[in-house]
Amino acid sequence: MEEFPGVELRHLRYFAVVADAGTVTEAARRLRIAQPSLSQQIRLLERRIGTPLFRRTRQGMEPTEAGRLLLDGVHRAFDELRSSVAAARAVPETARVGVCRGVAQPVLARAEEIMTRGRRLRLAYEPVDSERQGDLLRAGTLAFGILRTPVDETGLTLSTISDEPLGVLLHRRHPLAGRTELTWSDLSGQRLLWFPAGRARGYAADVLARLRERGWTPETRTEDHGSHTLFRHALLGNDDLVALRTRTSLAGDPDVVWRPVGPKPPHERLVLAAAAGTAWSRQV
């Protein structure tokens, strides 16, 4: 309050309570402070404003004309302040959430339910590769992360939100599309439409290792555009190209089909993550 040096919000509150109570004794009781201290604070306020605010009578404290004018202003200011505080409290806190590519809507909805459970949050989603999310969470840049495992779990709290087997995605006229289930030997000679390993190194290495264990070591065609349209175009134009996806991630495209593959298909495990020891981690 630069226009009134030394005048604090508590002084104005003390003044308003004294005016309402009519006596310093009753006001001190309501404020739960000592009467001499309250009297001193009222005198200090009068000196700093530069005019008497009360007439001291045998009956108590009666506001002067200046005091009544100030009291009207204080009531208006406190009403406005209460309204502003209520409005501020009504604004939900914003939490930045990193989301890796290819997260299906049901999985995102499950994560959102966990993140907002018991608190009002505005979630601001940002596309962030799984590989980068750990560092951003530990640095506090992100509140939550939705990412593929395995990852470096140091300093993180994780909760699994999806753990599904991978199946084969191929175009509807592909020679293998007529089969209801595929084996690893069926995929011999098929190339794998893959993503840059740098997006999720742990996941990429784990899946490719499991494919080798099952006897399929495909040539990979890496796509770095991140566009579903171009991804779909690549599948539709090739009879020797397939992708690996979970069934949940299939977006209902009539020109592509999903087929289970076995035995023992690798899994895609998605987790909701937060930095350990933070308020966000308690949600997880």
Right CATH number for 93-161+270-283 from 3.40.50.720, 2.40.30.30, 3.40.190.10, 3.40.50.360?
Answer: 3.40.190.10
This prediction has a pTM of: 0.73
Q: Are 196 and 100 in contact (CB under 8 A)?
A: no
Distance CA 139, CA 161 (A): 23
Phi first, then psi: what are they for 145, rounded to 5°?
-140, 140
Architecture of domain 164-266: 3-Layer(aba) Sandwich (3.40)
Distance CA 255, CA 260 (A): 17
In tens digits, the chain (284 residues) has pLDDT values of: 456 677 899 999 999 999 999 999 999 999 999 999 999 999 999 999 999 999 998 888 999 999 999 999 999 999 999 999 988 888 889 999 999 998 999 999 999 999 999 888 999 999 999 999 999 999 999 999 999 999 999 999 999 999 999 999 999 999 999 999 999 999 999 999 999 989 999 999 999 999 999 999 999 999 877 777 888 888 988 999 999 999 988 767 888 999 999 999 999 999 999 999 999 999 99
- Per domain, the residue ranges of the chain are 9-89, 93-161+270-283, 164-266
Distance CA 200, CA 272 (A): 15
Architecture of domain 9-89: Orthogonal Bundle (1.10)
- Do the two domains 9-89 and 93-161+270-283 of this chain adopt the same fold? no
Three-class SS of 153-207: CCCEEEEEEEEEEEEEEEECCCCCCCCCCEECHHHCCCEEEECCHHHCHHHHHHH
First to last CA, the chain: 43
